[in-house]
Amino acid sequence: MFPQDPIEWPDEVEILIDQLECESTERALTREERAMMDVYETVPLLESEDGLHEFWQSPIDHQRIINSFDLIGATTLVDPLNASRWCSTRSQDRSDYSETESDYLATIEEEVPGGLDELIDLVMDFIEEELG
């Protein structure tokens, strides 16, 4: 979807995610911890070739994921996620979209790279303020 390098999470984020994955088998994660996991696990979908379409076709709790991005302050990703919600009612094959649908989705997806670019800083701030 994007001619952009995938996000390379700082070691601090990777360590936290590993820790949360281990702890999640022993206890329920807090909303803030769950938000971190949601964001971390969803980024590869947004970076994929089918991006927002793949996000909406995946069997995840879409609203919880959107709320998680909102909780960490990633509003530049929340807006395109919400704007592309209609993809959830479309065919699983993105090539089945009409030309109008494809053009509209491409316009929405133009916002995603900017949101991904600022995500590491937002996550680091969130960890410091909410989980630190």
Q: Which amino acid belongs to residue 124?
A: M
**Structure tokens, 42:** 């969803």
pLDDT bin (cut points 50, 70, 90) of residue 2 is very low
The pLDDT tens digits of the residues spanning 79-112 come to 999 999 999 998 888 889 999 999 999 999 999 9
- Predicted confidence (pLDDT) at residue 72 exceeds the cutoff of 80: yes
- Look over the chain and give the mean of its residue pLDDT values, rounded to a whole number: 93
User: What pLDDT does 45 receive?
Assistant: 93
User: What pLDDT does 35 receive?
Assistant: 97
User: What pLDDT does 5 receive?
Assistant: 79
User: What pLDDT does 92 receive?
Assistant: 87
User: What pLDDT does 17 receive?
Assistant: 96
User: What pLDDT does 94 receive?
Assistant: 87
**Mean pLDDT within 44-62:** 94
- Predicted confidence (pLDDT) at residue 3 exceeds the cutoff of 80: no
With 0-12 / 13-18 / 19 or more C-beta atoms within 10 angstroms meaning exposed / middle / buried, residue 121 is exposed
Q: Average the pLDDT over each of 4-8, 55-59, 86-90, 122-126 and give the range with the smallest value.
A: 4-8
HSE value, Cβ hemisphere, 13 Å, CA-based, for 59? 0
User: What pLDDT does 1 receive?
Assistant: 46
CA–CA dist 93, 44 (Å, integer): 18
